[in-house]
Structure 1
Amino acid sequence: MLGGIGAGGVEIRKDGQFYNWSILNNYPNGSAPILHFPTRPNSPEENSYLFFMVRYQVEGQQPQIKLLQLNNDIAYGGLLNEAPIYYFPWMSSVDQIEYSARFPFADLTFSDEDMPFEVKLESYAPFIPHDVKNSSLPAIDFNFELKSKIDKPLSVSIIATQRNLVAYDTPNKYFTVDIVKKDGVKYFKQSVGNVSEEHDSFGQMGLGAIGGDEVSYYLGWSHRHPFLERLLTQNDLGNIDDSKNRNKLNKAGEKIAWTGGGDNNQVFKSSIAVSKTLKAKEQMGAHFFMNWYFPNAIGWVSSKKERGNDGLIKDPKGYQLPIKKTSRVGHYYENSFENYDQVVDYFVANNKSLKERSKAFVDDMYRSDVEQYILDQINSQLNTFVTSSQLDKEGRFAIREGLTNNQSWGPFATSDVSLYGSASIIALFPELQKNMMRCHAHAQTPDGEINHGLGADLGLNQNGTFGVYERVDLAPNFIQLVLRDYLFTNDKAYIKEMWPSVKKAIDYVLREKDLDGDQMPDMEGIMCSYDNFPMYGLASYITTQWISAMSMAAIVAEDMGESKNAKKYKKIADKGIKLMDKYLWNGNYYRLANDYHGDKGKDEGCLTDQLFGQWVAYEAGVGRLFEKEKVHSAMRSILSYSYIENDYLRNCTWPEHPKFFPMAETNLWVDQANTPWTGVELAFASFLIREGMVEEGKQIVKSIDDRYRKAGLYWDHQEFGGHYYRPMSAWSVLNALAGYNLVKDHYTFAPKNHEESYNLFFSANTGTGALIKDHQAVNVEAYSGTLQLASLTLPTTLWQKKNNLITTKEGAVKVKKWIEKDGMTTAIFDQVIELEKGENLMINPNAVTLN
């Protein structure tokens, strides 16, 4: 998906076509109807919204046009209800496309035996960790390179065409287009008239090209006459504005779009081209850009009566969404730009640096000495930042739980799913993660309950999103998320703001969810993220989260000057561990549940997430909560029972049903036991790696990567709908391999890589960097932003012979205190060290005695 966080975007696929447009505030991301034009049933009309083609002519030969996409339909080249193969035999799609992508870059190489040249496309949209403004731009870049393979002169024109989709859902509009020329740049800006400027889908969109006289345009075309026929006789677009012929007056005297008897949304396209005559084997570039400005993002809710029993929005016509609109929430990009032209000016002026910074992030991460399939899997999940995010003008942020091309699945910022998926958000955009939790705090009920998720208006309290109320895990989810985010960012203002909501959530659990007085939340059936098989009493999935929450709360309470509460929370956590050992440990693993104060008895299910709270504690830098031997025994049991080798890791297995849980014998409506949840698999893989079971963890990641490649859904991980949020837990695998934690500016690395030299990428609260080891020294290097180090903890072996000179560009670093424990050595610095981009902290085995 190419686009911006919360700004919408468009997918570029392996066929060279563009899908799943979400720039127009259209459903499923927005409140305007589904972007669907029923011109021809089952026709892939998206191939006419944006497309590229190359017109070429070898000296002395007939000109040809190649559409830079594969032919999936009888209609192509923007000609719906047409058959170009009949009308224009000199225009056809290319034979083959080689596609490779690393988010946010997609590279396509187009080949055809008829073409006397090579043509490549590099497309990208800015994605720069810790830079929200530039990662939320409504902008996409398309950079073509074409190289002649012949010794004769070759006339070439690379042409970009965009359909005017503005206010696609309104009648009686008329189309407008303006050409803008400035400083070697030309672009067209499309909009409409006779439509309220406050309408959801009102705005501007357009394409531009960088170049002088080589750039030409044709504005406002629709029919095959005369646009494509003109291309047969000349190598540029002629700088024509035909928009006046695309509109007419109706009986009321209003200007409206001329339909020509067809769909009034298909009749207005504009094109821009870069043209040149090449000498023998000469090459050329063609640099295009696409921008948009649709400020009227409207919040919306849907009432219970508009949903079915499954909680999904019903849309019988397939076009119009039965929702209730709330208020204008806007887009974050409006804080920087007042109109479309300002977006274009900024993107063109800063394109080089935006591309370099986006590319640097990808290259820095892939420089890691980690298997490529692991890096690929992590990278693939970053796609969800664009497909499913909302970032409104106020800076409120959330990611939709699931999304398909014609339906939203679940609410935004689902509490239980966020505990997995937000591992990527807190690492790369801490401010967005904190703002998401602020939305949850704002929506917290007066008694302390936390919402299952947030509606499409992130400023509204919409408890019961998707029919879910009072789940047992929601408050512990919230507590863990807020406290993890504080420990990672060391943002004291944030925790001061959020601490009252955290304590209210703690009190809510102790008051409302502890049914037997043991200070642990109790399950009474189906009432947690695993919402299709019941648990009763003390449940490992819930209890470990509560222990994690209380362990973190004890640490943070001390920071807040509340020693009494710190002792209380620590006591609850310790009690929980004892209860886990007493009632849930069965000698091999922690059983699914034990209703030890009730009549439901023990449930021996072996849940993959039975120690989920320990995973969260590791990610938060809290460390070990449960006995190592029991944890490893539980992990071996999970692998033995539930890992289908080289395939998938299922969620839960019962010893009495060692192969499959018999879903047919129950009244449960969906199988959550025998199936895998990718986000759970990835989290568990990182958990295994943290515990030293490195190869086992890697194998699970490899299974996921293979599974999704085979399915052709590499950028679209499934669970509840597609583009699912939970698998963004993938970032935790990168952290685990580096043994990396950041807690209040204190850095820890315990690398699982035992090579003589390595480079391990990490993302901190204010920048990115790498732990780099070679035969001479160990370095912590800043790649972007600023790294602030109050201390550094490494395996004692990395401190060489305990004789070290720690240096930065300022010279030797003063160490206030050394601490050695469990094979790890910590250097607490005399003052916080700040490393800017390109600077490093070097541990050199030369001088100062460690004492």
Structure 2
Amino acid sequence: MSPTKTMASRTVCDWPVLTRYDQDHLRRIALPLGGIGTGTISLGGRGNLQDWEIMNRPAKGFTPRNTFFALYAKAEDQPAVTRVLEGVLDELELDGAHGSTVPNHGLPRFRTCSFEAAYPFGQAVLDDKDVPVSVRLGGFNPLVPGDSDISGIPAAVLRFELTNKTDRTVKASVCGSLENFIGSDGNSGAPNHNRNVFRHQPGVGNDPGVRGMYMYSDGVDPLAEQYGTICLATTEPDVSYSEAWQGWAIKHGWGERLTNFWRMFSETGRLVTNDDRSEQAPVASLAASVELDPYATRTLTFLITWHFPNRQSWDILIKPKVPQANTSCCGGGICVCEPVERVGNYYTTRYSDAWDAAVVTAERLEELEGATIQFVKTFMDTDVPPVVQEAALYNISTLRSQTCFRIEDGHFLGWEGSNAHDGSCHGSATHVWNYESATGFLFGDLARNMRDAEFRYGVTEEGLLNHRLMLPLHRAQEFGVAAADGQCGTIMRLYREWRLSGDDEFLRELWPAAVRALSFCWQEGGWDADQDGVAEGCQHVTYDIEFHGPNPLSGIWYLGALRAMNEMAAYLGEDTLADMCRELFNYGSRWMDENLFNGEYYEQEIRPFDPQLIAPGLQTGEGAVNQQEPEVQLGSGCLTDQLIAQMVAALIGLGDLVDPEHVQRTLQSIRKYNYRADTYEAFNHMRSFVMNDEPSLVICSYPKGDKPAFPFPYYSEAMNGMEYAAAVHMLLVDMTEEGLQVIRDIRSRYDGRKRNPFNEQECGYHYVRSMASWGAILAWTGFQYDGVRHTMTFKSAAERTRWFWSNGSAWGSFEQSPEDEGTVIKLTVMRGMLTLNKLGIKGLGHVDYPASKRLSAGESIADKLVRPI
């Protein structure tokens, strides 16, 4: 780890800190603040607010004009000073055709700045020798595993901790200014007769209540995607405000409004009410004032909330191409412009408008903040390497980005990633979402919600699971193509969600569709038409092409689906299906090891194909055209994510899908052949997510020297999600240092200077596949939970150890203390409800609770595993 970016486990502040970034590593930091499915505003490394992505779509680079927080500070008998509450601009932000392009670049800022983070907490630490107070600007939003409503609040909470550095009394004000940009999302639309009004919701007793500027529009179409409300509020009692910055009677556009505001605020730190209704996008300002005794510290709280109800459906209809088509778009198909349909937002059904969201959030803020601190501190206060914690925790931010959303009926859906102004690759793509493990283990209701959308709406009568769901969900089956890896992996995820929740009704409702989805593999011209447990047919995969012939990627996913269906069918009493799945699995697993394992890793057996014999819905038309010698194949290559299904199976308790000795050798080969210390001599004809001296695992290598003339398209790239999958698997098989190094390499690339630590990229920003990093927590601790049988297990540790656990609905800590005669164990539930029949350590045994232990938040259970004589 670079010495300029260090890890820390604690700070004297109430908020936890995992990573600290110095002033040279702030350029790319943008920590998303907002709830799951609501959009976000990002807290930049300098303390600036950027990327206002609250209007139903991404908006990278969008910052409304005249939007910032400023400080007024006057020490007794000293001149007043005014500063924007941001650090100085980075040198790369200074250049432009007309000077710096940063909004409000000409305003004075703090000379020094650093950034501290433990997602969702971010803090910009500001200081200046000419300012009598130092400032710690903190931003967060509630994030509590197992509670998607608390974690889905449309709010950014900002704390301004002011510390008087002098021996004099200081009068200070913090002022937030926000342009009412309703109607414009940074890409399209425009404000139209927007209005700002001051509101006050009194509190109870000594509670000062909420005061703030409520923003709405009288002119924007109420059905527009950009229509809604915004609120800038504070819980401070001493406030002043202005509904609109004052201009001149003759509007020259020479910055007079900013000049007038800055002069007014700099004189007294207070604002004068002004309502200029001639402005289409008036700027509202809200100031909170305090008096600081010598060396005293005070914290002022602001909230920014929003409410934009008109989310639209995926904005394209993709029709699978005919074989003769020569155009392509969006992962397979011809883009046909279609009128979009409103699908709405779940969060806007919970609040009447942005003011309601501000009031409700403010009333519960102490509770919400406390629960979030408890989660992050519990997560950090464990014996897990900080870089593993960082990779897992910081990628949860993807759930809050515009990559993910909840439509009005509550269904949770997502793109693969986000472009600058729209989603990237629509449809909750099954093959990409296969990799991530954060949703299932942190927000089980959302994971079950996704499975409901897929199996209830996305599976046809023939069993084709559309690997991209269309919206609204009554159109879910219009895409018409299944991905072999995606369909089989989604069956495994159905098993995961059922096993973690123990919800039999959930399983039974979706079971008929799951049976159809498995049977789809066996159709004539399908993936396993001869029903021998080997996927040999035309297999569309996550690399956006079709593999022809048996291969480890989709082949092992198929084995995992067979094992999952075997387990679920046996539980439901469908013995014939259970036995059939087990028989196919046994044969297919043996065949894979005997025919595809080359002594070092698994490879593909490329087979010719006849397009007339391929079943409908198995290809997009982007793959091979040479029927006898198919192009864009894997062949003898060593694929970094060839064992992804085996890794997932290990995490969810499905056991070995192929020979464990072959798995170990394969992972060693991946490390040996796919590792690149740098890219100086590397050829890459596609996208570059790794450059120059950055180390990585390339997606595919050809160590035997027989690389096809045209391998599959992304073979020369390095993708974070694939790297995490390999790293997690290495941790699972005790290749600890190798797995850690892969994770270190990834996170060194997201150091704040080169890339944003809270935005891992692949095909778009905030890419879903990087949430595979949560699997490193599961692998490190060995955590497994079976909600059907109510058993929980961890792996053994050689010394006293404390770990975090979460099963999607409850979470807490687990401690084990090895002693001469046995191991003392203690399980604590921090939040949620947990039922236990067995608690144990793999290899050491378990404790039985015949009467079942039911643990609520704050309750613990302690026992001792006696070491066998």
TM-score range, shorter chain: 0.7 to 0.9
| Counterpart residue type for residue 51 of structure 1 | F
- Out of 646, 653, 664, the residue aligned to residue 701 of structure 2 is 653
Shift of 1:13: 1.2
Find the aligned partners of 1:329 and 1:236 in 2 and give their Cα distance: 43
Shift of 1:412: 3.5
The 1:783/1:97 distance shift into structure 2, 3 A limit, reads same
Name the CA distance, whole Å, in 1 between partners of 2:755 and 2:641.
28
Partner of 2:242: 218
Higher mean alpha-carbon deviation, 430-439 vs 683-692, is at 683-692
Change in 2 beyond 3 A, CA 1:529/1:312? closer
Tell me, in whole angstroms, the C-alpha distance in 2 between the residues paired with 1:293 and 1:365: 31
1:131 aligned counterpart, secondary structure: coil
- Deviations along 1:558-601, one digit per CA (max 9) or x if unpaired, are 11110111101111111111211221122222223354999769
Name the counterpart of 2:552. 540
Taking the TM superposition and a 5 Å limit, the aligned residue runs for 1:319-334 are: 324-334=338-348
- Give TM-score scaled by structure 2 length: 0.82
Q: Which structure 2 segments of 5+ residues have no match?
A: 1-31, 247-256, 611-627, 678-693
- TM-aligned CA deviation for residue 772 of structure 1: 0.3
Give the Cα–Cα distance (whole angstroms) in 2 for the partners of residues 824 and 624 of structure 1: 20
Provide, for residues 356-376 of structure 1, a one-character-per-residue CA deviation record: whole Å limited to 9, x for no partner.
111111111111101101101
* 8 Å CA contact retained: 2:81, 2:266: yes
Q: Which residue of 2 aligns with 1:437?
A: 451
Tell me the amino acid that sits aligned with residue 221 of structure 1. Answer: W
Higher RCO structure (Cα 8 Å, ≥6 apart): 2
Aligned pair 1:105/2:139, yes or no?
no
Shift of residue 456 of structure 1?
Answer: 5.4
Partners of 1:128 and 1:515 lie apart in 2 by 43
Q: Is the 8 A contact 2:314 2:426 kept in 1?
A: no
State whether residues 472 and 521 of structure 1, in contact with CA within 8 Å, keep that contact through their aligned partners in structure 2.
Answer: no
Give the aligned partner of residue 606 of structure 1: 638
Does 1:123 find its partner at 2:139?
Answer: yes
Give 3-state SS (helix, strand or coil) of 2:74's partner: strand
CA shift, 1:71, in A, is 4.9
Q: CA 1:502–1:166 in structure 2 vs 1: closer, same or farther (change >3 Å)?
A: same
* Partner residue in 2 for 1:807: none
User: Structure 2 residue aligned with 1:191, among 216, 222, 225?
Assistant: 216
Report the RMSD for the aligned CA atoms in angstroms: 3.2
SS in 2 for 1:832: strand
Q: Please, which of 636, 650, 654 is the counterpart of residue 618 of structure 1?
A: 650
Match of 1:787 among 819, 828, 834: 834
Shift of 1:640: 1.4
Correspondent of 2:710 among 666, 671, 674: 666
Are the equivalent residues in 2 in contact too, given 1:68–1:94 (CA < 8 A)?
yes
After the TM superposition, which residues 65-144 of structure 1 pair with which residues of structure 2 at under 5 Å, given as runs?
A: 65-72=82-89, 91-144=107-160
Q: Residues 171, 768 of structure 1: CA spacing in aligned structure 2 closer, same or farther, 3 A cutoff?
A: closer
What is the rounded CA distance, in whole Å, between the counterparts of 2:152 and 2:809 in structure 1?
Answer: 18
Aligned to 2:739: 697
Which residue, out of 837, 842, 848, partners 2:857? Answer: 837
Percent identity for Structure 1 against Structure 2: 23
Q: What's the counterpart of residue 730 of structure 1?
A: 773
Using a 3 Å threshold, how does the CA distance of structure 1 residues 760 and 283 change in structure 2: closer, same or farther? closer
Aligned length: 763
How many angstroms apart in 2 are the aligned matches of 1:18 and 1:657? 51
Number of the residue aligned with 2:11? none
**How far off its partner does 1:750 sit?**
3.9
Distance 2:609 2:223 in 1: 58
Alignment of 1:244-323 (within 5 A): 245-247=276-278, 258=279, 264-265=280-281, 268-304=282-318, 309-312=327-330
Q: 5+ residue gaps in structure 1?
A: 29-33, 36-43, 248-257, 259-263, 314-320, 796-822
Q: 2:174 aligns with which of 158, 177, 190?
A: 158
Query: How far did 1:691 drift?
Result: 1.6
Deviations 1:364-399 (A, max 9, x none): 111110110110111111010111211122110022
1:141-192 deviation digits (Å, cap 9, x = unpaired)? 1111111112233221111111112123556831212211223221110111
Q: State the partner residue of 2:578.
A: 566
SS in 2 for 1:92: coil
- 1:30-49 equivalences under 5 Å are 46=63, 48=65
C-alpha change, 1:482 and 1:470, in structure 2 (3 Å) is same
- Give the CA deviation at 1:72: 4.3
- Per the alignment, do residues 306 and 571 of structure 1 end up closer, same or farther by CA in structure 2, a change over 3 Å counting? closer
Contact 1:52/1:159, CA 8 A, preserved across alignment: yes
Q: Which residue of 2 aligns with 1:636?
A: 668
Cα displacement (A) at 1:733: 0.7
- 1:751 Cα deviation from its structure 2 partner: 2.5
- What is the distance in 2 between the residues matched to 1:596 and 1:106? 54
Cα deviation for residue 128 of structure 1 reads: 1.0
Q: Distance in 1 between matches of 2:239 and 2:534?
A: 66
Structure 2 counterparts to residues 417-496 of structure 1, below 5 A: 417-421=432-436, 423-441=437-455, 442-455=457-470, 457-458=472-473, 460-461=475-476, 463-464=478-479, 469-496=481-508
Deviation at residue 761 of structure 1 after TM alignment: 0.7
AA aligned to 1:218 is: S
2:530 is aligned to 517
Contact 1:402 1:722 in 2 (8 A): yes
1:352 aligns with 2:352: no
**CA offsets per residue over residues 793-823 of structure 1, 9 Å max, x none?**
313xxxxxxxxxxxxxxxxxxxxxxxxxxx3
Show structure 1 runs of 4+ deviating over 6 A: 80-85, 305-308, 596-599
Q: Which moved more, 1:99-108 or 1:470-479?
A: 470-479
Superposed displacement of residue 726, structure 1: 0.4
| Distance change (3 Å), C-alpha of 1:844 and 1:484 | closer
Of 52, 59, 66 in structure 1, the residue corresponding to residue 69 of structure 2 is 52
- Stretch moving more, 474-483 or 567-576: 474-483
Distance 1:153 1:780, change over 3 A: closer
Partner SS for 2:766: coil
Matching residue of 1:375: 389
Q: Are 1:173 and 2:173 counterparts?
A: no
Normalised TM-score (structure 1):
0.84
Distance 2:856 2:271 in 1: 48
Distance 2:41 2:178 in 1: 13
Q: Which amino acid aligns with 2:745?
A: S
Distance 1:406-1:309 versus aligned 2 partners, 3 A rule = farther
**Separation (CA, whole Å) in 2 of partners of 1:165 and 1:326:** 23
Q: Verify the 8 A CA contact 1:326 1:457 in the aligned structure 2.
A: no
Task: Confirm or deny: 8 A CA contact 1:536 1:600 kept in the other structure.
Answer: no
Question: In 2 relative to 1, CA 722–15 (structure 1 residues): closer, same or farther, beyond 3 Å?
Answer: same
SS of equivalent residue, structure 1 residue 475:
helix
In the alignment, what sits opposite 1:749? 793
Give the superposition deviation at 1:270. Answer: 0.7
How far apart in 2 are the matches of 1:747 and 1:477? 24
- Separation (CA, whole Å) in 1 of partners of 2:52 and 2:534: 43
Cα pair distance change 1:291/1:49, threshold 3 Å: farther
> Contact 1:472 / 1:523 at 8 angstroms: preserved in 2?
no
Alignment correspondent of 1:815: none
1:57 aligned counterpart, secondary structure: strand
